[in-house]
Amino acid sequence: MGEVRLSMIELVRDTYRYRELIWALALKELKIRYKRSVLGFMWALLNPALLMVVLTLVFSTIMRFNIPHYAVFLLSVLLPWTFFSQSLSYAVEAIVANGDLIKKIAVPKLVFPMAAVVSNIINLLLSLIPLALLVPLLRHPFYWTWLYLPVPLLALAIFTLGMTFFFAAANVYYRDVAHILQILLSAWFYLTPIIYPLELIPARYQWIFKLNPIIYVINGFRLAVYYGMLPKAPSIVASFVCAFLSLFLGFAIFRKYQDNFVFYV
């Protein structure tokens, strides 16, 4: 327990100390992602916007569900999920990809997974803009509960950060991790009520799905954007318990092995 407390102190201290570096690395990530494209940064908005158009067309004409405004139903959770899976996909390589740097400069290792998460948070925030435009366009009510979104956003960011620390560290030792992660993420995607509502699962199996920590974390998004409701207190508590457990464990593991990364990258 003392170990965990120590690593949390270190995490907060180093995040603050290297905030400028983390921010610069995150911006670099985005700049490089959109560089050499004519529309540049606009793609951060266009990409989710176009995805929304496709999804709306598909689900309003070809595959019709019994869920009104299915596109809003789906996107309210798909966008946070995309943030989660993209952060992980980027961050799993964060240490290995910066191996040359780590071997030459004494740089704090935690900045790399953090920068990956920060750059994807920026993407997520930008993708909420086209969603906010789509909602009235589809004549779905625009609820005041949108104002609640910072809370699930915070829980999601903390949860994601913890996972990225774990996967980035594990991938240094076993490069198979990056491949396993992709399979894991796609299985996880279908096991999480994203494209379907949790109610679709037979009642006696629902408890299994409720063991999935991320449902508490992303639940708030769907409630606020689609249903215009706020999650109940136990659900909010559960989301932050999952988020901080992920961060504690993920960073404790990362911290334990970070001095040896340089020998394996």
Partner 1 sequence: MSSSPVAIRLQNVTQRFRVIQERPDTVRELFSKFFRHRSSYHDFEAVKNASFEVPKGQMLGLIGRNGSGKSTILKIVSGVYRPSAGTVQVQGSLAPLIELGAGFHHELTGRENILLNGLLMGYSKREILARQQSIIDFAEIGDFIDSPVKQYSSGMYMRLAFAVATEVDPEILVIDEILAVGDAGFQDKCFERIRNFRRAGKTILMVTHNMAQVAQHCDRAILLDKGSITADGLPDDVIEVYKSLLALEAAAAH
Q: Cβ of residue 102: shortest distance to partner 1, in angstroms? A: 8
Measured CA to CA, the distance from residue 256 to residue 251 in angstroms comes to 8
For partner 1, the closer CB: 117 or 194: 117
| Angle at alpha carbon of residue 80, lines to 188 and 156, rounded to 5° | 85
Length of the chain: 265
Give whichever of 37 and 206 is closer to partner 1, judged by the CB atom. Answer: 37
Closest contact distance (angstroms) between CB of 264 and partner 1 is 9
**Interface residue list for partner 1 (CB under 8 A):** 20-21, 24-25, 28, 31-32, 35-36, 100-107, 259, 262-263
Closest contact distance (angstroms) between CB of 16 and partner 1 is: 12
State the nearest-atom distance from the C-beta of 100 to partner 1, in Å: 7
Q: Give the nearer residue to partner 1 in terms of CB position, either 24 or 46.
A: 24
Nearest to partner 1 of 24, 42 (CB atom): 24
Q: Which residue in 220, 178, 167, 211 sits closest to 192, CA to CA?
A: 211
Q: Tell me the closest approach of the beta carbon of residue 30 to partner 1, in angstroms.
A: 12
User: Least distance in Å: CB of 246 to partner 1?
Assistant: 27
Nearer to partner 1, 29 or 128 (CB): 29
CB 246 within 8 A of CB 213: yes
Q: Extract long-range pairs of 229-235: CB within 8 Å, 24+ residues apart.
A: 229/145, 230/145, 230/148, 231/152
DSSP category for residue 105: S
Closest to 161 measured CA to CA, from 76, 90, 236: 90
Nearer to partner 1, 35 or 139 (CB): 35
Helix residue spans in 144-232 (DSSP H): 150-173, 176-191, 206-209, 213-222
